Structure 1
Amino acid sequence: MGPLSRPLSLANGHGIKNRLFKSAMSEQLGDRQHNPTPELARLYRTWAEGGIGVSVTGNVMVDRTALGEPKNVVLDRDSDLGAFRRWALAGKAAEGQIWMQLNHPGKQIPAMLCKTPLAPSAIPLGRGLEKSFNPPAAMTEAQIQSAIQAFATAAELAKQTGFDGVQIHGAHGYLVSQFLSPRHNQRDDDWGGSADKRMRFVLAVFRAIRERVGADYPVGIKLNSADFMKDGFSENESMAVVEALAEAGIDLIEISGGTYESPAMMSAGKRASTLKREAYFLDYAEQVRQRVKVPLVVTGGFRSAAGMSEALESGAVDMVGLARPMSLLPDLPKRVMAEPDFVLTMANPSTGFKALDKMGMLSITWYEFQLERMGQGKAPKPGLSAWGALLATFGRLGVYAFRQRRA
């Protein structure tokens, strides 16, 4: 049995059949009431049958008044729990697991969806994003407590409807990430100021979830290694948060990095040595491994069975995170476990016009189109042109297609 095929046991005794982890991607397959559609269930059944150990859903919003994108799924007391049960059941096919990613966008809400979003501090997004995202209002104590309980309620409902675990989205500049960042959290109360106070929100969210779901239910987090901005969340601060979460009892940590102001989670701008090694955040994971024993996942950059196996054998990570490759090869887990020499080549779709690519958000929408095809029971279409993806996005999202809908 190779390293990719070995089962993993979490500290709470929860077992995972192999070391392959589908990281969250934006599916945009919620219905008008923000419930999961049959297409979502079919998509996750396809991935489960492809051999994945754990599938993490695209971010499910915990507050229907705070959407990150127009067709987000929301889980709260007003949701259609039957639709969530069908989604969870599909994700369990072939002994796979499905974990729900829980998120609140904070101020990363497109202007078309919210006039005044909430955030730790009344600081707008920068680097050009302020043109499409309205300035936020600083959250009151009551609003902070409400957001914490919204995460806890969603986690409770995720367990009730059959999801195998939950993941807190604490990366990429969303609300949890905003509280951790000295750039975005400039409060002078108990929720901001020092690094210790800035991490209070994520710890409060975790503890509220744990109180609702119990000690034996898996609760993980996706956390930035850093924001990669001069005045943002740093590596040293991130490691301190990891240690605090490990002490509090977190079950699994997925490592990412960057925000939509500084998108380090994308391949653009990566050093040649990083791209050759494949895993974008493996250096950070190696440092974290010296501090905590919590299972770690690194997502970003993996393209070969050899690169994935080497990351596991290094001891720095316990699972390999895969995202965009799974939108093209839903049976990628089976392939990399069976073929040690497997290599996937991926091209970046482009119309040839950078402004049009950016306006159509091709780096996201091209892959969303592939997810939609799988949700319809069709095979992915790797040869889809960038122009075809733009037309498909317009047909699916209408007036929202060419408005910036994501930070």
Structure 2
Amino acid sequence: MSQPNALAAPFTLPNGSVIKNRICKSAMSETMGDEDGGPKPELAKLYGAWADGGLGLCITGNVMIDARALGEPGNVVIEDERHLPQLKAWASAATRNGMQCWVQLNHPGKQSPKGLNAETVSPSAIPFRKDMQAMFATPRALRDEEVLDIIARFANAARIVKAAGFSGVQIHGAHGYLVSQFLSPHHNQRQDQWGGSAGNRRRFVLAVLKAMREQVGPDFPIGIKLNSADFQRGGFTETESLDTIRALAEAGIDCIEISGGTYEAPEMAGLKESTRQREAYFLDFAEQARKLVSVPLIVTGGFRSFAGMQQAVASGAVDLVGLARLLAVETDAPRRLLAGQDPAQKISLRRTGLRMIDDSGMVEISWYADQMKRIARGEAPDPGISTRWLMAKTMVKLMFAGRGRPQRLRAR
């Protein structure tokens, strides 16, 4: 007898929420916010396409909690309820056919291109590596009252997400953004309650989780995307990540998505060939985490085949498999996987040949964002789009965004 399709089995979270299958769309930045930070109608069309494609769980691209702190031009921002009708329309499309949709909430910290915001902030005033300083400014260290304000903003945004009708929220604690910066001894060199020891560096993310829970209650899922490691000298290590996972589990997190890397050290760095052969880049780490906690786990990164995904779930190492770039070029890939078939599309890294840009990961973000915009317009994805042409268009957009939208938002 053939092995049952593990991807097709429903999964029940500890709080009772049911995800209809084990396939999760991980976050990709869509950059479909309007000039006031509201979600454009195209987002509902895009997420409706994914809902029609068979996904069990869909996690949105990073939604910012502060209009003064954008990660890319076109971010959606949730600061108050002014955009609640648009958010409700997005949520309605994104939860049809029984798909759960969680909003990923984020603050970029220092990881925002020059010119986009008036300034960048971080736990400490640590610059980027030298070859990236032309694109990213040295941040200002956050004051204690600003840290508390950011925690409150995460919680308030989660409240609004629930009111809009989404299924849950995810804290973006990976890939070098602010939560990740607080966890990293490289980026966080504070000597107050928010730094100086691994326990103090974890205090920020635990405070965000606690504040969110107070706003949304016990039955609304709160997940987190967390680095297994930063792959950066002096950064967040696997040991510290496992300790953080244990602390988050004890604090009542509902799901942990495992990833890795930052703009300065992308996730592909340091991966062994044996890891690549298993498809999922972080599956070995997930197996370590599984020995420590029972909290549901998602691994994102590297999955290519039905067999690889099937084995990851059937082994018990993970509860859901995370897909991202594939779903920007093949929205109905889940239907093939649920039928036991491989995806029709093959995914490869998108490069311009310009190392500074390629190392930052910005070209990947822009290229796949362009594919998602095509889907949102009702067009088919186009894998043949030139990465250099798209990067030039993005840089022009960034230049004009820095002169316009953020300043208008700050002026409210």
- TM-score under structure 2 normalisation? 0.92
Supply the distance in 2 between the matched residues of 1:116 and 1:45 (Cα, whole angstroms). 36
**C-alpha deviations, 1:312-367, integer Å up to 9, x for none?**
11111000000001111000111111134556422334456667867994322221
Name the structure 2 match of 1:57.
60
Q: Tell me if structure 2 keeps the 8 A contact 1:303–1:343.
A: no
SS at match of 1:128: helix
Which residue identity lines up with residue 22 of structure 2 in the other structure? R
**C-alpha deviations, 1:361-407, integer Å up to 9, x for none?**
43222211110100101111123343554576578x3746999xxxx
Q: Tell me if structure 2 keeps the 8 A contact 1:155–1:209.
A: yes
Supply the distance in 2 between the matched residues of 1:204 and 1:156 (Cα, whole angstroms). 16
Could you say if the C-alpha distance between residues 145 and 341 of structure 1 is closer, same or farther in structure 2, counting changes exceeding 3 Å?
A: closer
Name the structure 1 match of 2:377.
376
Name the structure 2 match of 1:156.
159
**C-alpha deviations, 1:177-200, integer Å up to 9, x for none?**
111111111111111101001100
Name the structure 1 match of 2:230.
227
Alignment of 1:52-201 (within 5 A): 52-77=55-80, 79-201=82-204
Q: Tell me if structure 2 keeps the 8 A contact 1:14–1:218.
A: yes
Q: Tell me if structure 1 keeps the 8 A contact 2:336–2:342.
A: no
Which residue identity lines up with residue 33 of structure 2 in the other structure? G
Could you say if the C-alpha distance between residues 184 and 3 of structure 1 is closer, same or farther in structure 2, counting changes exceeding 3 Å?
A: same
Could you say if the C-alpha distance between residues 400 and 316 of structure 1 is closer, same or farther in structure 2, counting changes exceeding 3 Å?
A: farther
Could you say if the C-alpha distance between residues 310 and 127 of structure 1 is closer, same or farther in structure 2, counting changes exceeding 3 Å?
A: farther
Name the structure 1 match of 2:21.
18
Q: Tell me if structure 1 keeps the 8 A contact 2:367–2:390.
A: yes
Deviates more, 1:208-217 or 1:349-358: 349-358
| CA displacement at 1:269 relative to structure 2 | 6.2
Supply the distance in 1 between the matched residues of 2:350 and 2:312 (Cα, whole angstroms). 28
Could you say if the C-alpha distance between residues 207 and 173 of structure 1 is closer, same or farther in structure 2, counting changes exceeding 3 Å?
A: same
Name the structure 2 match of 1:309.
310
* 2:329 is equivalent to residue 328 of structure 1: yes
Supply the distance in 2 between the matched residues of 1:341 and 1:362 (Cα, whole angstroms). 26
Residue in structure 1 matching 2:36, options 33, 36, 39:
33
Supply the distance in 2 between the matched residues of 1:278 and 1:386 (Cα, whole angstroms). 25
Deviates more, 1:275-284 or 1:289-298: 275-284
SS at match of 1:151: helix
Which residue identity lines up with residue 322 of structure 1 in the other structure? L
| CA displacement at 1:128 relative to structure 2 | 2.3
Supply the distance in 2 between the matched residues of 1:165 and 1:191 (Cα, whole angstroms). 27
Name the structure 2 match of 1:2.
5
| CA displacement at 1:114 relative to structure 2 | 2.5
- TM-score under structure 1 normalisation? 0.93
Supply the distance in 2 between the matched residues of 1:127 and 1:257 (Cα, whole angstroms). 22
Could you say if the C-alpha distance between residues 232 and 352 of structure 1 is closer, same or farther in structure 2, counting changes exceeding 3 Å?
A: closer
Could you say if the C-alpha distance between residues 323 and 400 of structure 1 is closer, same or farther in structure 2, counting changes exceeding 3 Å?
A: farther
Could you say if the C-alpha distance between residues 385 and 187 of structure 1 is closer, same or farther in structure 2, counting changes exceeding 3 Å?
A: closer
Supply the distance in 2 between the matched residues of 1:342 and 1:287 (Cα, whole angstroms). 29
Deviates more, 1:121-130 or 1:145-154: 121-130
Q: Tell me if structure 1 keeps the 8 A contact 2:62–2:75.
A: yes
Supply the distance in 1 between the matched residues of 2:61 and 2:142 (Cα, whole angstroms). 25
Could you say if the C-alpha distance between residues 358 and 190 of structure 1 is closer, same or farther in structure 2, counting changes exceeding 3 Å?
A: closer
| CA displacement at 1:110 relative to structure 2 | 1.8
Supply the distance in 2 between the matched residues of 1:258 and 1:310 (Cα, whole angstroms). 24
Q: CA RMSD in A?
A: 2.2
Number of residue pairs matched by the alignment = 400
Supply the distance in 2 between the matched residues of 1:255 and 1:402 (Cα, whole angstroms). 32
Supply the distance in 2 between the matched residues of 1:230 and 1:351 (Cα, whole angstroms). 26
Which residue identity lines up with residue 122 of structure 1 in the other structure? A
Which residue identity lines up with residue 325 of structure 1 in the other structure? L
Supply the distance in 1 between the matched residues of 2:391 and 2:238 (Cα, whole angstroms). 37
- Unpaired runs of 5+ in structure 2? 404-412
| CA displacement at 1:76 relative to structure 2 | 1.3
Which residue identity lines up with residue 311 of structure 1 in the other structure? A
- Unpaired runs of 5+ in structure 1? none
Name the structure 1 match of 2:207.
204
Could you say if the C-alpha distance between residues 176 and 268 of structure 1 is closer, same or farther in structure 2, counting changes exceeding 3 Å?
A: closer
| CA displacement at 1:213 relative to structure 2 | 0.2
Q: Tell me if structure 2 keeps the 8 A contact 1:360–1:402.
A: no
| CA displacement at 1:70 relative to structure 2 | 1.5
Which residue identity lines up with residue 70 of structure 1 in the other structure? P
Supply the distance in 2 between the matched residues of 1:207 and 1:20 (Cα, whole angstroms). 28
SS at match of 1:65: coil
Supply the distance in 2 between the matched residues of 1:359 and 1:350 (Cα, whole angstroms). 11
Supply the distance in 1 between the matched residues of 2:168 and 2:46 (Cα, whole angstroms). 18
Deviates more, 1:95-104 or 1:358-367: 358-367
Supply the distance in 1 between the matched residues of 2:348 and 2:227 (Cα, whole angstroms). 26
Could you say if the C-alpha distance between residues 281 and 83 of structure 1 is closer, same or farther in structure 2, counting changes exceeding 3 Å?
A: same
Supply the distance in 2 between the matched residues of 1:360 and 1:107 (Cα, whole angstroms). 15
Could you say if the C-alpha distance between residues 217 and 107 of structure 1 is closer, same or farther in structure 2, counting changes exceeding 3 Å?
A: same
SS at match of 1:80: helix
